[in-house]
Amino acid sequence: MTTTGTLLPRNAAFARHDQKVDLVLRYLRTERWSHQDILQRLLGLRSRQAIHKTLVSMEKKGLVRRHHIEHGFSLPMTIWGITTHGVMSSFSDDETITDCRAFEPSKLKPTQINHTLDIQQARVKAELAGWCEWASAGFAKKGIKNPDATAIRPDGIVVAFEIERTLKSLRRYPDILVSHLDARKQGLWKEIYYLMPDQSMKHKVERIFNSITSARYKRQTIQITDAHKTHFKFFTYSESWEIKL
């Protein structure tokens, strides 16, 4: 018997719940922890009550755990982290189980929370638009700056992301620019997206890059041209950077 209105039949409701749990676990398997608001957007839920209900249900099953943290001068924040049981449960029966670490509150760095959440917001926005193979940080190759994330655009282009919450010193940007150009030359990624919280910061970072005329590369000074800079794109968080322009 089906129900009326917006309610799902019982079997369909159970299937939808399992689907939501699976999506959250697979997301947290790589991110380890996140905030309720981000997970709500990941699942496409309209209300905070719906995602909270899902997370509490998962908590009761030992799949996730909540953790309260002091968050600067604002109110304490609650985040949700995946447990070891949650990690193991995130793999399907026909999927190779890999070594993924569970959330460990002792290893959480409060100073990096906002930056990490901004990267996660970008990931959800990208994946909902069809991007794939998102990898947050963790990149390591000698001489190449570790970007905040990399992902493959729907058209197959690999993009490196820099989430710029605060400005760096002027002398840092030429080195960063050259590092990304070197990575591009090696075929690691083709474009670099800078994401900023607001228009003011976006314009400042863009102006800094536009002012760079030379940089040190392999103990030599090289000239930086406009052609080099075309590979760098600048956006605010809210702009439609996830759509190919």
**Residue 243: band (very low, low, confident or very high) from pLDDT cuts 50, 70, 90:** confident
- Tell me what percent of the residues of the chain surpass a pLDDT of 90: 76
Do 219 and 194 fall into the same domain? yes
The enclosing domain of 158 has a CATH number of: 3.40.1350
Do 196 and 113 fall into the same domain? yes
Q: Bridge partners of 162?
A: 194
Do 144 and 206 fall into the same domain? yes
pLDDT at residue 245 tops 60: no
The residue ranking higher by pLDDT, 101 or 111, is 101
Domain tally for the chain? 2
pLDDT at residue 140 tops 80: no
Comparing 8-22, 108-122, 156-170, 220-234, the range with the smallest average pLDDT is 8-22
Q: State mean pLDDT over 143-158.
A: 91
DSSP H or E run through 201:
helix 199-211
pLDDT at residue 5 tops 90: no
State the CB neighbour count (10 A cutoff) for residue 215: 19
Report the distance separating Cα 222 and Cα 46, nearest Å: 52
pLDDT at residue 196 tops 70: yes
Mean pLDDT, all residues of the chain: 90
Crossing angle of helices 48-60 and 36-43, in 10° steps, is: 100
Assigned token pair, 59? 């908590």
Do 222 and 113 fall into the same domain? yes
The DSSP 8-state label assigned to residue 62 in this structure reads T
In Å, the largest CA–CA distance within the chain is: 75
- Tell me what percent of the residues of the chain surpass a pLDDT of 70: 91
Do 151 and 190 fall into the same domain? yes
The residue ranking higher by pLDDT, 142 or 83, is 83
pTM across the whole model: 0.88
Do 20 and 115 fall into the same domain? no
Do 37 and 49 fall into the same domain? yes
Do 141 and 53 fall into the same domain? no
* 3-class state of residue 216 by DSSP: strand
| Report for 4-8, 10-14, 88-92: range of highest mean pLDDT | 88-92
Comparing 25-34, 92-101, 153-162, the range with the smallest average pLDDT is 92-101
Report the distance separating Cα 223 and Cα 89, nearest Å: 52
66-89: pLDDT as tens digits? 999 876 656 689 999 999 999 999
Of the candidates 49, 78, 108, which is a domain's last residue?
A: 108
64: phi > 0 → left, psi -120 to 50 → alpha, else beta; which? beta
**Residue 31: band (very low, low, confident or very high) from pLDDT cuts 50, 70, 90:** very high
| Report for 14-23, 86-95, 104-113: range of highest mean pLDDT | 86-95
State the CB neighbour count (10 A cutoff) for residue 90: 22
Report the distance separating Cα 215 and Cα 206, nearest Å: 17
Q: How confident is the model at residue 74, as a pLDDT?
A: 64
What domain range includes position 65?
A: 1-108
Report the distance separating Cα 2 and Cα 70, nearest Å: 46
